[in-house]
Amino acid sequence: RAALTRAASTAALAIPMASSALSPCPSGANNCWSTAGPGKNEVTKWRFPAGTDKAKATTVLQEVLDAYPQAGQAGVDLGGWSVAENALSDKGYARYEYKSGIGNFAKFFNGGKPFIDDLEVSVEDGFVCVRSSSRVGDSDFGVNAKRVNYIASGLRAAGWDAPGVVV
């Protein structure tokens, strides 16, 4: 029995899981998008062009992420962004923090501090997993979708198959 359990455990660990690099969104969330789906919050994986190796794809992804305007875009992320963790070159993973402006919602519901959202990316073989999520609240008024769509657009301009999300 012990031998069977060990064999089953070893086999289970060897099975690759789709989008396992990042977490799915919480059930029913209205402020999160992830390639780890399933459900209404699922983002299609961003596929880099055929013949592109992970190193080149990582470089392009980094350039697109770094080109995101510090002043925000489409009325979102007006408080700028920062790199919280960057292990793209060695582990293929990065996490960015995006801040809202100090509007009335932040003043009344967040103690006058900007809301902070997290964007995570993980470079896999042939594709990139992504997750963008608000840290607090239930609704983000489409902020995470706008962010994901902006970045996906930059990747499409570089020849990637990077669908956005539809709100």
Q: What angle do CA 140, 147, 123 make, to 5 degrees?
A: 120
The pTM of this model reads: 0.85
Q: Considering the chain, what percentage of its residues have pLDDT values greater than 90?
A: 68
pLDDT at residue 20, as a whole number: 55
Tens-digit pLDDT profile for residues 10-55: 343 333 334 457 999 998 889 999 999 878 999 999 999 999 999 9
Q: Where are the domains of the chain?
A: 19-157
Higher pLDDT, 7 or 162: 162
pLDDT at residue 138, as a whole number: 79
103 burial type by CB count under 10 A (0-12 exposed, 13-18 middle, 19+ buried): middle
Tokens of 21: 């690099």
Tokens of 127: 């594709």
CATH (residue range 19-157): 3.30.530
How many residues are there in the chain? 167
Tokens of 167: 């709100």
Integer Cα distance of 19 and 45 in angstroms: 8
Q: Considering the chain, what percentage of its residues have pLDDT values greater than 70?
A: 87
If one counts every other C-beta atom within 10 angstroms of the C-beta of residue 108, the result is: 9
Helix axes 54-66, 143-157, angle to 10 degrees: 130
In the chain, where does DSSP find H-type helix? Answer: 2-14, 54-66, 88-91, 104-109, 143-157
Using the 8-state DSSP alphabet, how is residue 73 labeled?
B
Tens-digit pLDDT profile for residues 97-130: 999 987 777 777 778 788 899 999 999 999 999 9
Q: How high is the mean pLDDT of the chain?
A: 87
Sign of the C-alpha dihedral, residues 141, 143, 148, 152?
positive
Tens-digit pLDDT profile for residues 133-156: 999 887 888 999 999 999 999 999
Would the pLDDT of 6 be above 90?
no
